[in-house]
Structure 1
């Protein structure tokens, strides 16, 4: 039986095309991936991401616990701020990537990937020490993401606090948006400005309707998982299971900024320190096809007649119409301008290592 978010009942109103996404019935598109992608780049798009997991961590030892299990430095957070981080295995592979929200002293919320909820909670419980309580609040929490250059103007119509003053990776808890109590976070997964809005699942439909109504004059449209993937890909934001996994470390994925090796001991630190000291064997790079063909996930990448890695994500960029990909390859071939070949339907097709992200917000 596939799981459904609280917004499932209204998908049909928008003509959604539904797919099985990791055991969830979710919209891959509403009006078309290209149109939705363009809306987020130019105006605004509204996503249902209620399948994501939320975990509350509280208690006097919550900070020490989070410092032990995550790679970023949680002690740097003030209440009302969040950070991107990772959970790692002792060998440096990734359990999951996540957001850590500091609600107040001794009280945090973790936002984790839908496909990893059970695994992550088991991992966290396995490492619980001290006076810490862990609560899975995923089922009672709905999450809407409003992304794009018009996002501020839309949310500002529905709330009193000066939303435009909210800095990236900061949030306001218990804000009324369109009559609904919301945690409003200046975060997202598209490479554009925007907000993620956490609400009680019973209020999700009301907030969705209010946002679409407020955004009508700004070109806001419902947006599905297809555009979510192309948007995050152009912005070089990693997807667990593709750019990150138990077999791929944060350093290989180019996420060293979120790994604070000097903060003290944490799970995976020794392995990651060794990688940093000796150099990572593989690197995630951008590639652009120089001949016809689209690089797809798991396509082999070659140089000098041998396989050097594989594509993790690839498509025709909806914004730039170039055939591009992210590939995890031997570090020796990661220099910009290096010629590589992608195996597409049995033929080796020429590509070049290029800089990323493919898109930066204007």
Structure 2
């Protein structure tokens, strides 16, 4: 397994290490629920250095990204970011990504760790014919995510940048604890927060400074329960190569008024299934559990777990479009009542 620059720091702080996307990363330090609540009430810091980063630059960088991504990259001004997707020729999702415009003709793509090689090959293929240069920065980039309602307060004490003037999806350069960084007001928890792009040699010092300033170290377990409460997808679960994004709650990403790779295939498909949110009366739903209605299977859970804020089990599931309730989730062989829920599952600021 690969190790991030924070591997020794995780061990020092009691991180319980597990394998994830080829990396050794902390599942938790104390407990998943404690870390989850710390992020919702205060601030937690996650090591997400396993994520991939691609630099796209050149005179046709924008034209290339308009073709390669489903969202409208032309809407991005310098210093702004957007959620987007890469589609395949069948209209399925190669990956969901974040795109940052760093300069007039320079962009940064952040991709899922397990998809780095696949995404790189996909983008290299699409770049043929464009005057554009792609560079894989993944190995030389450390990434921290400081998330929670107190994130700005904690970070402000470590940087000269005026964070009160930074909006959601802003990206900018700044010093943090005396180390150069690129900051983005983005994240994967549904809370306010910042992601910090750093040189690997600076990551541990910044991580320790954030903890000393009041952030709690948080692991993969809390990251997953937080994103689930926020109703965010996880690639390989809600989104796959066979998923039509137009059949999901994240269809807003797909901008049909522009041309992009995979568009016609996605538009040509009828949605036989859709993604819904479910709250269980009792028990915990897990990936793969059947969703039932009228005594028959109508879908399956793609992500499920315990919501510390609701005190109940919650799930994202693919179900037959138009399926009528009442719904049940088969938990360990027994049907448990489940109600449809709007996303996000909990109120978020």
TM-score bucket (shorter structure): over 0.9
1:117-128 paired onto structure 2 within 5 Å = 117-128=116-127
- Name the residue aligned to 2:306: 316
| Alignment pair present for 1:258 and 2:253 | yes
Q: C-alpha distance in 2, partners of 1:135/1:360?
A: 39
Give the Å deviation of 1:92: 1.5
Post-superposition offset of 1:138: 0.5
Task: Using the TM superposition, name which of 53-62 and 247-256 deviates more.
Answer: 247-256
CA contact (8 A) 2:61 2:106 kept: yes
Distance of 1:345 and 1:154 partners within structure 2: 43
Counterpart for residue 108 of structure 1: 107
What is aligned with 1:170? 170
Correspondence list, 1:121-270, <5 A: 121-128=120-127, 129-173=129-173, 175-215=174-214, 220-263=215-258, 265-270=259-264
Q: Distance in 1 between matches of 2:196 and 2:285?
A: 34
State the match for 2:65 in structure 1. Answer: 66
User: Partner of 1:349 in structure 2?
Assistant: 336
Task: Tell me, yes or no, if the aligned pair for 1:88 and 1:267 is still in contact at 8 Å.
Answer: yes
| Structure 2 gap ranges (5+) | none
**CA–CA separation in structure 2 for the residues paired with 1:189 and 1:199:** 18
Question: Which whole-Å CA distance do the structure 1 matches of 2:31 and 2:335 have between them?
Answer: 31
Preserved contact between residue 294 and residue 326 of structure 2 (Cα < 8 Å): no
Partner deviation per Cα, 1:79-112 (whole Å, 9 max, x = no partner):
0001000001121110000001101111111000
CA contact (8 A) 1:191 1:359 kept: no
2-side partners of 1:181 and 1:22: how far apart? 27
Residue 358 of structure 1 corresponds to: 345
Kindly report the root-mean-square deviation, in angstroms, between the aligned alpha carbons of the 2 structures: 1.2
Q: Deviations over 1:96-150 (max 9, x none)?
A: 0000110111111100000000000011011113211111000110000000000
Task: Check the 8 A contact 1:86/1:97 in 2, yes or no.
Answer: yes
| Distance in 1 (alpha carbons) for counterparts of 2:125 and 2:291 | 38
Preserved CA contact (<8 Å) 2:286 2:302: yes
Aligned-pair distance for 1:350? Answer: 2.1
Choose the corresponding residue for 1:299, options 289, 296, 320: 289
Deviates more, 1:321-330 or 1:229-238: 321-330
Q: Give the CA deviation at 1:236.
A: 0.4
Q: Tell me the SS of whatever aligns to 1:85.
A: strand
Provide the C-alpha distance between the structure 2 equivalents of 1:205 and 1:314, rounded to a whole number of angstroms: 32
Asked if the contact 2:283–2:312 (Cα under 8 Å) also holds between the matched residues in 1, the reply is no
5+ residue gaps, structure 1: none
Aligned residues: 348
Alignment match, 2:32: 33
Counterpart position of 2:23: 24
Picking from 270, 273, 277, the partner of 1:282 is 273
Per the TM alignment, residue 158 of structure 1 is displaced from its structure 2 partner at its CA by 1.0
Classify the secondary structure of the residue corresponding to 2:3. Answer: coil
Residues 1:14 and 2:13 are matched in the alignment: yes
